[in-house]
Homo-oligomer: A and B are copies of this chain.
Amino acid sequence: MRIITIGREFGSGGRELGKRLADALGVPCYDKEIIREVAMLQGIPSSQVENVSQMEIASIYTGTIGNTFASNVYFNKLAMDVMIEQTNVIKKLAKTDCVIVGRQADLILKDYNSLNLFVYADFESKLKRCLARAKAGETEKDIIKQMKKIDKERASRRSIMSAEKWGRKENYHFCINTSGKDIKSLIPALKELALAWFKDKE
């Protein structure tokens, strides 16, 4: 199977890159779809899935000793159910070629020989991207706060699953700096890179 996973800093354009790369390769791209499916399977709203996976597990984790789950007496059953469900959904999606954005899919699909990309950018570029898609009433200050919060949560969530730190280049095959770049312009080359990468593995 040819699975591409995309880790990304908030505002780096990783989602856009994933969608465009998937289109270029003619395969589906999964992002929010995973959350929606988990929500449906658990019978809870999508917003709750996002909250659970982005916040509660991380805060629970601070109550554990080191990486040991067992010692966590404050464990949240819903958070655990959502994580297990998310793992199952991702493994099910990975039965056919696809691009998966976020959700620590590179860790979940460790045995799938996925091509793992990490997309990042400098602060100014990320802020610019976030401002361009800001909701009405959101201030720059709100956005900066959100940028920091979300990346912190992502790193924290990853730390529950693995010692392989979020965003550390050693844990990915290619890291792509999108600072000041038009993501669209990189897609044909990234498509070729992905095809070469999978061909080399065959």
Where the two chains meet, the residues of A that have a C-beta atom closer than 8 Å to any C-beta of B are: 118, 120, 122, 167, 169-170, 172-177, 181-182, 185-186, 188-190, 192-193, 195-197, 199-200
Contact residue among B122, B170, B176 (Cβ-Cβ distance under 8 Å from A174): B176
Contact residue among B176, B190, B199 (Cβ-Cβ distance under 8 Å from A185): B199
Question: Using Cβ atoms and an 8 Å threshold, which residues of chain B touch A193?
Answer: 186, 189-190, 193
Q: Is the CB of B170 within 8 A of A177?
A: yes
Q: Is the CB of A192 within 8 A of B188?
A: yes
Q: A175-B175, A181-B200, A200-B182 are in contact. Are A120 and B170 (CB under 8 A)?
A: yes
Contact residue among B170, B181, B196 (Cβ-Cβ distance under 8 Å from A189): B196
Question: Using Cβ atoms and an 8 Å threshold, which residues of chain B touch A170?
Answer: 120, 122, 177
Q: Is the CB of B175 within 8 A of A200?
A: no
Question: Using Cβ atoms and an 8 Å threshold, which residues of chain B touch A177?
Answer: 169-170, 172-174
Complex CA distance for A118 and B176, rounded to whole angstroms: 11
Closest B residue to A182 by CB, please name it: B200
Complex CA distance for A170 and B197, rounded to whole angstroms: 23
Complex CA distance for A175 and B116, rounded to whole angstroms: 12
A-B residue pairs, 10 tightest by C-beta: A189-B193, A189-B192, A175-B175, A185-B200, A169-B169, A169-B175, A173-B177, A189-B196, A185-B196, A192-B192
Complex CA distance for A114 and B58, rounded to whole angstroms: 40
Q: For the complex formed, measure the closest distance between the CB of A166 and the CB atoms of chain B, giving whole angstroms.
A: 12
Complex CA distance for A139 and B34, rounded to whole angstroms: 50
Contact residue among B122, B186, B196 (Cβ-Cβ distance under 8 Å from A186): B196
Complex CA distance for A189 and B175, rounded to whole angstroms: 15
Q: For the complex formed, measure the closest distance between the CB of A198 and the CB atoms of chain B, giving whole angstroms.
A: 10
Complex CA distance for A172 and B120, rounded to whole angstroms: 11
Question: Using Cβ atoms and an 8 Å threshold, which residues of chain B touch A196?
Answer: 185-186, 188-189
Q: For the complex formed, measure the closest distance between the CB of A123 and the CB atoms of chain B, giving whole angstroms.
A: 10
